[in-house]
Amino acid sequence: MTNSSKNEKRRHKEQLYNLFSQIVGAMANPHRLELLDLLTQTARTVEELAAEARMSVANTSQHLQRLKQARLVLNEREGLYIRYRLADPAVVRLWLELRAVAEQQLAEVDRALDAYRNRRHEFEQISAGELWIRLRNQEVILLDVRPYPEYRAGHLPDAVSIPIDELERRLNELPEDKTVVAYCRGPYCVYADEALEMLAADGRHAVRLEEGVLEWQQAGYPLED
């Protein structure tokens, strides 16, 4: 093989890695990762994402454009609004794998999670397998405390929807004679912890499912919509 051919192959190889780096570069920003995480729950408008992520609409739009350029998200116009969604289920798997690698390789992740969910070790937890059995035996009430749009996009079987900002005034809607299992967006979401605090203060027996919809589905359990 001539030097010219070798150099040509080298350029093509570098082009491949350059394309791979576009995905990494688009994700290499904490705000964009949070937007991807939010979009794993359901499609949202720019305004909705900005409110959830506590960013300006302008900044949110810029971050979404970067994700779109890398073809990680797609958008469509709905009247005056533009709604974004993940481009492919593979993006969900990529996000879950990135989290798993960070958890395994970076001890700081666990410490940061302790700081964010500062009471997480105080709460009783239930595994997905045990919850599945107890749901089938009608032994527990499953409470989804995510916002309504996320619940409507897909939820665990037989889950009751009471968003966290409505829970305190709607506690009387939950039966007092059954254990309440609260869940939210998964291990990096604090909503279920807040729900357990309210339920405990009301004298209820409540436990947390660490998994959210993504983890539940990845484990092979069904969803409802």
Which positions are annotated as active-site residues? 184
Residues 210 and 189 sit within 8 Å (Cβ to Cβ): no
Task: Tell how strand 206-209 and strand 179-183 pair up.
Answer: parallel
For residue 51, what is the enclosing H or E element?
Answer: helix 46-53
Strands (E), the chain: 44-45, 73-78, 81-86, 125-126, 140-144, 160-161, 179-183, 206-209
- CA 7 vs. chain centroid, Å, equals 44
Interhelix angle 30-39/3-27, rounded to 10 degrees, is 70
* CA–CA distance, 97 with 66 (Å, rounded to integer): 21
Choose among 99, 97, 124, 122: nearest CA to 109.
99
* CA–CA distance, 103 with 109 (Å, rounded to integer): 6
Question: What are 4's two structure tokens?
Answer: 């010219």
- CA 136 vs. chain centroid, Å, equals 25
